[in-house]
Amino acid sequence: MTMLLFPLIIATLIIPVTLVAIFGITGYFIYRFVLRDFLCNRSVNATLKEFHIKKTQFQIIKEYHDFKGEKISDKEILYLQKRYRQHEPDQFLSMYDSIRDKSDPSKKN
């Protein structure tokens, strides 16, 4: 009789736990690699819009590095864009201020 209960225990306990774990891990990866970046991007764009900045994240990074005299590839800019967007969103405002201060002739002493 106990040998007949073992497959029933497997079917009622292990299979649902495995399915929940698979759905949980899938949901985490969807959040981690898709949804989180989408939300960070939307937040940064809203901040740029709030300060009436018409440049994109890509343009800000490119111009900032051009002003510093550094030449970086588009691939590196995309990497920095994602990194700043997710980990250091205030960097865009700092870089924009640096660009604006250097290019604004009325700020020179």
Could you report the per-residue pLDDT of 25-35, keeping only the tens digit for each? 999 999 998 99
> Using one digit for the tens of pLDDT, what is the confidence trace for 6-32?
777 777 888 889 999 999 999 999 999
Q: Tokens at residue 61, please? A: 């990074």
C-beta separation of 83 from 41 below 8 A: no
pTM for the predicted model, two decimal places? 0.74
Q: Is the dihedral of CA 92, 93, 98, 103 positive or negative?
A: positive
C-beta separation of 93 from 47 below 8 A: yes
Measured from the Cβ of residue 57, the count of other Cβ atoms closer than 10 Å reads 24
Please compute, for residue 48, the number of CA atoms within 13 A of its CA located in the half-sphere on the CB side: 21
Predicted confidence pLDDT, tens digits, the chain (109 residues):
556 677 777 778 888 899 999 999 999 999 998 999 999 999 999 999 999 999 999 999 999 999 999 999 999 999 999 999 999 999 999 999 998 887 665 554 4
